Amino acid sequence: MAVITWTLAALVESVPRVRESVVDFVRDRGVSESRVQDVRLAVSEAVTNAVVHAFRERAEPGTVVVSVVVDDGEWIEVRVIDDGGGMAPRDDSPGPGLGLMLIRRLADHVEHRVPAGGCGTELLMRFTFAGS
């Protein structure tokens, strides 16, 4: 089992860096290319959602933590955790609101909850190696 975690500022420029780091990590563990691309898109959507939505009521960006666990030959688990304002509907959303729906189609299992610290959002995505 391989585990890695990144902690980043919730800035737009953080999204491609962490996305490609996750891709490199899962690819290096023998995940099929089609599954790597599912993980890539889901991570991009999840981190972008945290950057765009979680800190809209703050003057300074918050923190996003991305952790990945690869259980060789079985599954990939990705957690995206922010310390923002939590999930809530928005009438002023800058996007079409399809990110979570897309993530649910790409991953085999998705959960979202309040993280252990009591604020923000934790999004857990699990992908089987044999998916897609």
Question: CATH no. for residue 27?
Answer: 3.30.565.10
Taking only Cα atoms into account, the Rg of the chain, rounded to an integer number of angstroms, comes to 14
- The tally of CA atoms less than 13 A away on the side-chain side of residue 22 is 31
- What whole-number distance in Å separates Cα of residue 34 and Cα of residue 110? 19
- The tokens for 85 are 């304002």
Residue of 86 and 7 predicted with greater confidence: 7
119 SS3 class:
coil
Residue 94 has pLDDT above 80, yes or no: no
pLDDT digits (tens, 9 = 90+) for 22-54: 999 999 999 999 999 999 999 999 999 898 888
What's the domain range around 43? 2-128
Distances (CA, A) of 20 to 25, 38, 108, 112: 9, 13, 21, 23
Q: What DSSP character marks residue 85?
A: S
What is the pLDDT, as a whole number, of residue 67?
A: 98
Residue 8 has pLDDT above 90, yes or no: yes
What is the pLDDT, as a whole number, of residue 95?
A: 55
What is the pLDDT, as a whole number, of residue 109?
A: 97
The count of domains in the chain is: 1
